Structure 1
Amino acid sequence: MTLSRRDFVRLTAGTGAAAALAQLGRTAAVAAPSGSYRAMVGIFLYGGNDGWNMVVPTDDRHAAYQAARGAVALPRNTLTPLTNASYALHPAMAALRPVWDEGALSLVLNTGTLFAPLTKATYLSRPDLRPSNLMSHSDEQAHWQGLRARDSASDGFMGRMADRMPGGRLPPLISLSGSTLALIGKTAVPLVLPASGLPGRAGYSARDTAKNLATALLADSEGGPVMDGVKTTLRDTFEQADLANSVLSGGNSVARHFVDANGRALTSDIAAQLLGTAKMIEARGTLGHSRQTFLLSMATFDHHANQVAGSPIAGDHANQLGALADAMAAFHRAMKALGVGANVTTFTMSDFGRTYASNAQNGTDHAWGNNHLVMGGDVAKGGIFGTYPDPVLGGADDITNEGRFIPGIAQEEYLGAIARWHGVSNADLPYVFPNWQTWSTAGRGPLPLFR
């Protein structure tokens, strides 16, 4: 068979195979499910989420919070209170209060990129201990996803985890938010999907013309070893595309949970991604997965201006946090309905935190430490991990006079706890986290996030 370059490009473009062909030469491990099922679901908030308005102190520190934050400060009486805690969530995140009351939500305070433990004094005197290129979007995203605080990364922590995890009929590393550094392993091949399924082009769907072209190509004995590799990858990609489409586009029992407090269907992009994730989890038996790792995302958290509008509790940031909370709560309901509420952990990541001080445009600027959320039926009930920084501008934790706080918890301590819960062995933790030795000695180590 002779297949023109144009036909080949049209064939792969019509089925989602092009991305998989870029992984040619890598292989995914295939193994039968073993042990208890677990899934981890990471949500990356691109642009730098203002975690200081996501998790707010409600005790005497609120006065210092309000004084420092100025125009973006949230009045105490507007916050979403958390039972038996001196912290509250943003007013728009009320959907997560029942999850907290159930004991399925934890807070991680002031975490971020660290190469070594730092105080303000050592930050100022030891530049060799600082992470590289702090407060840069691209660099900090790479720090979070690659976990090399002073070096460039060519692979990511989720990919390295998948290198050590069993596979199935589909790769156990699944992204519904595009290809990113976090997904790249040394051997693992991620499956990158749109939340609603793989789109096909007219005349080139996996079930008709393109399938026929692929079958003819696979039957062709010409081309040598390189073409044989292309054929194998293309065949596997078609099979994966068919299976993924059947899961994402077929019947399910989880969509009914993705509604707001008034019973209206959630329409945000993050809700669609979490619904797609829920469908994949529901199909875990069909897919042959004992472990699944998902990466999702939300964009445009870089609120240098108009973070609030009209009042502190309204504006772009409030809308985003509301969408996130509604989708997370719906996802948790779906997991409980599937009977895997305690087998799934959802957690947030972001480039960096924002300045504690607001700016003249009703926004905030790039900073460092940040607050994050961890959700699941196996998290520590009422868990609050880490120490809230000194909220005084220019104080003990602020490297400037604008509230750029040195993190008290390293990413490795935060994400390492989730990785170990997920099944990464102690022996493999240094592989997944290249700087693990620094964060596993001298009293440092994975946070006790789980029961």
Structure 2
Amino acid sequence: MTLSRRDFVRLTAGTGAAAALAQLGRTAAVAAPSGSYRAMVGIFLYGGNDGWNMVVPTDDRHATYQAARGAVALPRNTLTPLTNASYALHPAMAALRPVWDEGALSLVLNTGTLFAPLTKATYLSRPDLRPSNLMSHSDEQAHWQGLRARDSASDGFMGRMADRMPGGRLPPLISLSGSTLALIGKTAVPLVLPASGLPGRAGYSARDTAKNLATALLADSEGGPVMDGVKTTLRDTFEQADLANSVLSGGNSVARHFVDANGRALTSDIAAQLLGTAKMIEARGTLGHSRQTFLLSMATFDHHANQVAGSPIAGDHANQLGALADAMAAFHRAMKALGVGANVTTFTMSDFGRTYASNAQNGTDHAWGNNHLVMGGDVAKGGIFGTYPDPVLGGADDITNEGRFIPGIAQEEYLGAIARWHGVSNADLPYVFPNWQTWSTAGRGPLPLFR
């Protein structure tokens, strides 16, 4: 996914906390369904996660699944079953079983990029209705983050949401996974932070350092209101950086939840990102945030080879899903301990799904529709949304003979439900989702993901 120089400058401006200045004083155009705090936490699984092995049918479809998937198929007796459901999670994701039993985890089946509703017949006969450049990493990442299925995107859905969000002492749009298209708004600037906190500065005084820097930079100037404003901006920037650093450097009360089933501290990158997110949520009062939007990520899920190793339940994909599940479960425990379990929703995104059929290298190739997870205390208990595709290779939902399934749910129906829960008003949904009209009429609309 390519960012323009202008977009790169806008995003990197947020890394030093100067972005906070652009957010101060922003008025709220966001609805408040309950008048309470809300946070949405998106985790982008870069490379194209194999959602067909993340969520597996356990009924009669499992035989077809196993025959079609070949070497990467997970035996039924190894799966993590979900109570009162005909689906299971990957064996490595056992940490999320208690979250499901609690009623705080939902499945979204076969969702992906769509410009308009498609069947296999219309896909074949109407190329003008297909999303552009399907199954390309950069294009599909842009489709998910910019939500323009047939046009290039210069801004992202999280950035556009932030355009309509109230501010605080720091921007409420926060990334702990770098700068990317999803964060770009028309006016909003995100705060981009490392998960472990900003570099410390021993003996540092925000006001004195800003004053000295400003004095050095402006030594030859005549001063005046403009130069005084520059000095104020420099001072405020350092103070905002100190605030973010103090938040991310603390948070011991949430850190204790980030352990595995044996009590060992979680050390994965996604665990660090979710721990940083938990700390920012814990500090929401100090930061002045009634709404927070977070973007996190994992890489790389592009398993053309060696998706499994030795056995179907081992290998790179199992390791990644295990790290994801452990970190998500720990984050959920932390949110409950903070008393905001029902106020925080975590959800997954990815470039695209993988082919249902495996290849000769024990891997899978680029495809289209995919399965995703939504977690939080306010999600529908035992929720399973969408329809699992016809698993027959070359069948009614497969545009090739390798299991590239046409999505049954558009990204707008999936992400739009979360945005509306988060507080985006009905009037602002077409602004956040440029193709909203297509997915909010003729019987379509946001999924009923929440209670």
Using the size of structure 1 for normalisation, the TM-score is 0.91
SS in 2 for 1:300: coil
* CA–CA distance in structure 2, aligned partners of residues 146 and 338 of structure 1: 32
Alignment match, 1:8? 8
**Inter-CA distance 15–325: structure 2 relative to 1 (3 Å threshold):** closer
Identity of aligned residues (%): 100
SS in 2 for 1:279: helix
**Inter-CA distance 10–202: structure 2 relative to 1 (3 Å threshold):** farther
Kept in 2, the 8 Å contact 1:356–1:402? The answer is: yes
* CA–CA distance in structure 1, aligned partners of residues 421 and 208 of structure 2: 43
* CA–CA distance in structure 2, aligned partners of residues 344 and 141 of structure 1: 24
Kept in 2, the 8 Å contact 1:17–1:234? The answer is: no
Shift of the alpha carbon at 1:350? Answer: 0.2
* CA–CA distance in structure 1, aligned partners of residues 182 and 7 of structure 2: 32
SS in 2 for 1:305: coil
Q: For 1:190-339, what aligned pairs fall within 5 Å after superposition?
A: 190-200=190-200, 209=209, 212-214=212-214, 217=217, 222=222, 233-339=233-339
Kept in 1, the 8 Å contact 2:173–2:183? The answer is: yes
**Inter-CA distance 221–327: structure 2 relative to 1 (3 Å threshold):** same
Q: For 1:25-424, what aligned pairs fall within 5 Å after superposition?
A: 35-200=35-200, 209=209, 212-214=212-214, 217=217, 222=222, 233-424=233-424
Kept in 2, the 8 Å contact 1:34–1:290? The answer is: no
Shift of the alpha carbon at 1:33? Answer: 14
Deviation string for 1:122-149 (max 9, x for gaps)? 0000000000000000000000000000
**Inter-CA distance 222–376: structure 2 relative to 1 (3 Å threshold):** farther
**Inter-CA distance 9–84: structure 2 relative to 1 (3 Å threshold):** closer
Shift of the alpha carbon at 1:207? Answer: 7.6
SS in 2 for 1:349: strand
**Inter-CA distance 302–219: structure 2 relative to 1 (3 Å threshold):** same
Shift of the alpha carbon at 1:10? Answer: 19
Shift of the alpha carbon at 1:232? Answer: 5.5
Shift of the alpha carbon at 1:284? Answer: 0.4
Shift of the alpha carbon at 1:236? Answer: 3.5
Kept in 1, the 8 Å contact 2:27–2:167? The answer is: no
Shift of the alpha carbon at 1:325? Answer: 0.1
* CA–CA distance in structure 2, aligned partners of residues 351 and 329 of structure 1: 23
Provide structure 2 residue ranges, at least 5 long, that are not aligned to the other structure.
none
Shift of the alpha carbon at 1:239? Answer: 2.2
| Number of corresponding residues | 451
Shift of the alpha carbon at 1:184? Answer: 0.6
**Inter-CA distance 8–361: structure 2 relative to 1 (3 Å threshold):** closer
SS in 1 for 2:160: helix
* CA–CA distance in structure 1, aligned partners of residues 335 and 368 of structure 2: 33
**Inter-CA distance 351–3: structure 2 relative to 1 (3 Å threshold):** closer
**Inter-CA distance 33–17: structure 2 relative to 1 (3 Å threshold):** farther
* CA–CA distance in structure 2, aligned partners of residues 14 and 205 of structure 1: 21
**Inter-CA distance 338–13: structure 2 relative to 1 (3 Å threshold):** closer
Deviation string for 1:174-198 (max 9, x for gaps)? 0000011000111111000000111
**Inter-CA distance 214–424: structure 2 relative to 1 (3 Å threshold):** same
**Inter-CA distance 195–313: structure 2 relative to 1 (3 Å threshold):** same
SS in 1 for 2:373: strand
Deviation string for 1:396-422 (max 9, x for gaps)? 000000000000000000000000000
* CA–CA distance in structure 2, aligned partners of residues 365 and 222 of structure 1: 63
* CA–CA distance in structure 2, aligned partners of residues 30 and 103 of structure 1: 28
Kept in 2, the 8 Å contact 1:30–1:168? The answer is: no
Kept in 1, the 8 Å contact 2:72–2:358? The answer is: yes
Provide structure 1 residue ranges, at least 5 long, that are not aligned to the other structure.
none
SS in 2 for 1:109: strand
* CA–CA distance in structure 2, aligned partners of residues 6 and 105 of structure 1: 39
Using the size of structure 2 for normalisation, the TM-score is 0.91
Kept in 2, the 8 Å contact 1:399–1:405? The answer is: yes
RMSD, aligned α-carbons: 5.1
**Inter-CA distance 149–232: structure 2 relative to 1 (3 Å threshold):** farther
**Inter-CA distance 188–261: structure 2 relative to 1 (3 Å threshold):** same
Deviation string for 1:61-85 (max 9, x for gaps)? 0000000000000000000000000
